[in-house]
Structure 1
């Protein structure tokens, strides 16, 4: 059965509850129903008059922030203890955790803000911010704002484009995928350049000491 058929059946049986239950499952990394498709189809149903626009959007937003908040608190409560217990077995040291926190302080809030739009990121960013103990107020400010952007964007596609929503959704998802890949490649290059610079500086320091 295609994912869209699953979404259609779920809406036919449960209506707004699909948004309150399904979107948290998407955030927890159980993307059935898939978040983007669910939201766009929600907008389409509002366009058709099957659902009312405001309750649909509010239900979707509530589901999104519930899912993100649950993943944050799971990471916050269990992430550090698991890291302390099993980190060495996975070759993870406290310095790695500290470097992750430092990296988040530079760019993490921006990533959190747009994480809902990045394929494969929104399912893990909540856990990550919880594990490194980002203050909840900071998390909520950026995550909840990002959730609002996500909900309005994809429900808006379904509502504004009506019968053409499938084609527009495919184009938007492909564009976001390319953007995510591009940003990932740029980040990888940046990390490599910094690592290379560090290695060269270390070698130069070693030579200076030898002299």
Structure 2
């Protein structure tokens, strides 16, 4: 299933170039699980061949990711929020849990959004809860853009450097995803440990 989706993404990018990169990243960031791990490296490969410019591909990919994320954020804020509040009892979500979520995003939202943009799967869906919790829109946009920029630079540059061999790195995408997830999870555990130690001294 994933391989078929990746092949479709490659076919579309090959035909649409910059617009395909923008569209693919926008959809991927709008809660549609299109693998950016295929979009950006293939865009890097197209830059290697001279069909695209690497810098423009990275910028357009970043903008696409940001635009898609904003769409999901607004959907969460104006569509998801009323639904959550309306059906909270049926979903077994208490008012205190909703308020706790709001408080958490207001306090740590920028870190959550930024680091989530560097994580597979989570990066696709994080904008929706950010919108539901009404995270500050300006902060959301800034940190989404920065996280998307780093993601686009790394994957786009890898595809560019690998050139025609870019396809050989596809089996390594999932390993890299796991490695990044472990590093960020370790950082989160470290921060929690520091805060816990501070509160108990």
Q: What band does the TM-score fall into relative to the shorter chain? A: 0.7 to 0.9
- Give 1:185 deviation, angstroms: 9.1
Residue 23 of structure 1 aligns with which residue? Answer: 25
1:80-117: CA deviation from partner (whole Å, max 9, x where unpaired)? 21111111100001100122233334543222112222
Number of corresponding residues: 189
Deviating more after overlay: 143-152 vs 158-167: 158-167
Provide TM-score, normalisation by structure 2.
Answer: 0.82
Larger Rg: 1
RMSD, aligned CA: 2.6
Deviating more after overlay: 74-83 vs 100-109: 100-109
Query: Could you tell me which of 9, 12, 31 is aligned with 2:11?
Result: 9
Contact 1:116-1:146 at 8 Å conserved across structures: yes
Q: Which runs of 5+ in 1 are unaligned?
A: 192-211
The whole-number CA distance in structure 2 between the counterparts of 1:116 and 1:187 is 15
Deviating more after overlay: 52-61 vs 151-160: 52-61
The whole-number CA distance in structure 1 between the counterparts of 2:32 and 2:58 is 21
Residue 161 of structure 1 aligns with which residue? Answer: 162
The whole-number CA distance in structure 2 between the counterparts of 1:181 and 1:45 is 31
Runs of 4+ in 1 over 4 A off after TM superposition: 181-188
Provide TM-score, normalisation by structure 1.
Answer: 0.78
Contact 1:76-1:133 at 8 Å conserved across structures: yes
- Give 1:178 deviation, angstroms: 4.3
Question: How do 1:91-170 residues align onto structure 2 when only pairs under 5 Å count?
Answer: 91-170=92-171
The whole-number CA distance in structure 2 between the counterparts of 1:74 and 1:174 is 32
Residue 196 of structure 2 aligns with which residue? Answer: none
- Give 1:143 deviation, angstroms: 0.8
